[in-house]
Amino acid sequence: MQPIHDVDVLLLLATAMAAKRRPAEMQEIMAAIDLIQRNIPSEEKLGDAFVRLGEAGLLVADGERVGLTPVAEGLIRILPRKGEYDQRLFELRGLLGAHQPKETSPAIVIEAATLRAAIQAHRSSAAGAGKNLLMPKPKPEAPQGRPGQRQRKPLPKARKH
């Protein structure tokens, strides 16, 4: 890949998060982008990124769903698993810069209306009472003891004779 755009890196990582076991739907990819960046890029930028990543042989379309190619899965496997999203995006940007596709693959063309509908569906589900399963779980503030358990009385000090 010659020019590396921020949207390309973001889209590839979001697709990897959303497409764990099967190709991901557009709404799932939008939820992952929202989780990573808290802001979803415009439909035009996303559409161009799908075309670039498809031509580079990193994304493949399966009907209305999008998944990773084995080459892209190899790039994602190299990334640190426990890192913050900013660190993972930075590492992935470097890996994409070094990636040289062997041959040109077919572009993935997704219409702006489809992307707009996915963004609107994600925003409406986020505003509703539904639960986004991609959002991280909140951590408890302090460990809580088991209910019904109380501390035992300390043993008396040993007497000296």
Q: Between 89 and 104, where is the model more confident? A: 89
Beta-strand (E) ranges in the chain? 59-62, 65-68
Is the pLDDT at 14 greater than 90? The verdict is: yes
**pLDDT value at residue 150:** 64
Structure tokens at 106: 């077919």
According to DSSP, the residues that pair with 60 across neighbouring strands are 67
User: Helix crossing, 6-18 with 70-78: angle to 10°?
Assistant: 100
Judged by DSSP in three states, 101 sits in: coil
Is the pLDDT at 35 greater than 70? The verdict is: yes
**pLDDT value at residue 145:** 63
**pLDDT value at residue 16:** 92
**pLDDT value at residue 15:** 93
Nearest Cα neighbor of 64 from 98, 21, 108, 96 is 108
Q: pLDDT of 113-149, one tens digit each?
A: 899 999 888 888 877 655 556 666 666 666 666 666 6
With b meaning 16 or more CB within 10 Å and e meaning fewer, what string describes 118-157? bbeebeeeeeeeeeeeeeeeeeeeeeeeeeeeeeeeeeee
CA angle 66-67-69, nearest 5°?
135
Is the pLDDT at 152 greater than 90? The verdict is: no
Between CA 109 and CA 143 the distance in angstroms is 50
Confidence of residue 156 (pLDDT cuts 50, 70, 90): confident
Is the pLDDT at 112 greater than 90? The verdict is: no
Confidence of residue 44 (pLDDT cuts 50, 70, 90): very high
Rg over alpha carbons for the chain, rounded to the nearest Å, is 23
Q: pLDDT of 54-102, one tens digit each?
A: 998 999 998 889 999 999 999 999 888 887 888 999 999 999 888 888 8
